Amino acid sequence: MPNKKKKRSKKKIIGYSLLTILVLIIGFSAYAYYKLQPKRHFQSVPIINSDEVKQKEANVSDQTVEPKEPIFNVLLIGSDERKGEKIGHSDSMMIVNVNLKKNEYHVISIPRDSRVYLENYGYTKLTSVQYVSQAAKGAKEGIEDAVKAVGHFTGIPINYYVETNYWGFLAMVDALGGIEMNVPFDVKLTHPWDKKYKNKIIKAGKQSLDGKMVTEIVHERYSLKTGEYGRQQLQQEALIGIARESLKPSNLTKLPSLVNSVSKFLLATNMSNTDIISLGLAVKDFDPATQVHYHQLKGEGKTMYDDVLKSNNSQIIIDENNMKEIVEKYFLGT
């Protein structure tokens, strides 16, 4: 009898121990989930000034701001950096104003050929800032300088930045199993990454596309009637397709593994994994038709002297009054 009692006692102890561990795990998970709720998680956000603010090793600014509402700006950069290289141009730039109170997202595309002043060099294209700075200072400081240049040029405080390139974007789309993208007009690939797609035409309409083809489409601009502005439309439609696909119930289980594999998709970011997860929670009821609002900057294409290249090239002179009006209305919530 004593042995049976001892066995029962051991089972009880093991049972209570397991129960205690389970309660602790559930409690910790509930606490973590509570903390990750977007309106709590983003109560304090970093701010990347246009001043020469040195970044910490983790790429997070040592300055933070506590917005009155959970609102912040994210700069998305697509680099043309090639495999094996450590420098590239900012080939595409979009700023997303995330308003978690209203569940609204305002997006503005910044033309890569916008004429800007680069200290110690003179006037050049915005796309060149990253390349010049990375060549002189290294990959990390180069992207930080590019982020600051965009913030300084637009007057928008940048809280977070995310940089990817051809292979990162391709991998991201393929990790989702491809996307459905609404192609707004016929696209002829005149300068494809993969030469076998030279002069291939993608017809307007809804298309089921893999990572390689999505990446080719958002890269094209030379064959488009509106050039850079047409490419901005293609990039916006690709982002909508990615958001819709990633938030499908069948793909929600993939999100943790996608977050853990973020280094495969991104070249640089100051967002932590918890930032990304929390942002994912914020867009769980995402409806791009009603929540996302796009804005394009007015500008005039001119042939201007480039002080970096020491020659004339095509640049875009942005209408500063138009830019100021858009920025003040939609991007200064922080």
Nearest-10 crossing angle of helices 211-219, 166-175: 140
Is pLDDT above 80 for 10? no
Token reading at 66: 């506590």
What mean pLDDT is reported for the chain? 81
CA distance 269 to 144: 10
Question: pLDDT-based confidence at 303, cuts 50/70/90?
Answer: very high
Q: Identify the weakest region by mean pLDDT among 3-7, 95-99, 289-293.
A: 3-7
CA distance 105 to 101: 11
The torsion angles phi and psi of 283, rounded to 5 degrees, stand at -105, 25
What pLDDT does residue 311 have?
96
In sequence order, the β-bridge partners of residue 67 are: none
Percent of the chain with pLDDT over 90: 43
Provide the whole-model pTM: 0.79
Domain range list for the chain? 2-330
For residues 55-66, average pLDDT: 49
In sequence order, the β-bridge partners of residue 72 are: 98
Give the C-alpha distances (Å, rounded to integers) separating 229 from 4, 118, 259, 273, 284.
80, 24, 31, 32, 29
For residues 189-210, average pLDDT: 93
pLDDT tens digits for range 168-187: 888 888 888 899 999 999 99
For residues 102-129, average pLDDT: 93
What pLDDT does residue 28 have?
36
Is pLDDT above 80 for 137? yes
Q: What are the helix (H) ranges across the chain? A: 2-36, 38-41, 126-137, 139-154, 166-175, 211-219, 228-246, 249-252, 255-260, 262-265, 273-282, 288-291, 320-330
Is pLDDT above 60 for 233? yes
Token reading at 321: 């009054």
For residues 251-266, average pLDDT: 68
What pLDDT does residue 228 have?
85
Is pLDDT above 70 for 5? no
Is pLDDT above 80 for 287? no
What pLDDT does residue 58 have?
37
Is pLDDT above 90 for 100? no
CA distance 55 to 137: 14
2-330 under CATH 3.40.630.190, yes or no: yes
Where is mean pLDDT largest: 110-124, 263-277, 281-295?
A: 110-124
Nearest-10 crossing angle of helices 139-154, 126-137: 150
Is pLDDT above 80 for 23? no
Is pLDDT above 90 for 264? no
Residue 151: name the closest of 159, 139, 162 by CA: 159
Question: pLDDT-based confidence at 288, cuts 50/70/90?
Answer: confident
For residues 9-33, average pLDDT: 45
For residues 311-315, average pLDDT: 96
Question: pLDDT-based confidence at 60, cuts 50/70/90?
Answer: very low
CA distance 293 to 268: 26
Could you identify the residue written with the tokens 């983790």? 58
Is pLDDT above 60 for 29? no
Token reading at 324: 């100021």
C-beta of residue 293 within 8 angstroms of C-beta of residue 319: no
Question: pLDDT-based confidence at 31, cuts 50/70/90?
Answer: very low
Is pLDDT above 90 for 113? yes
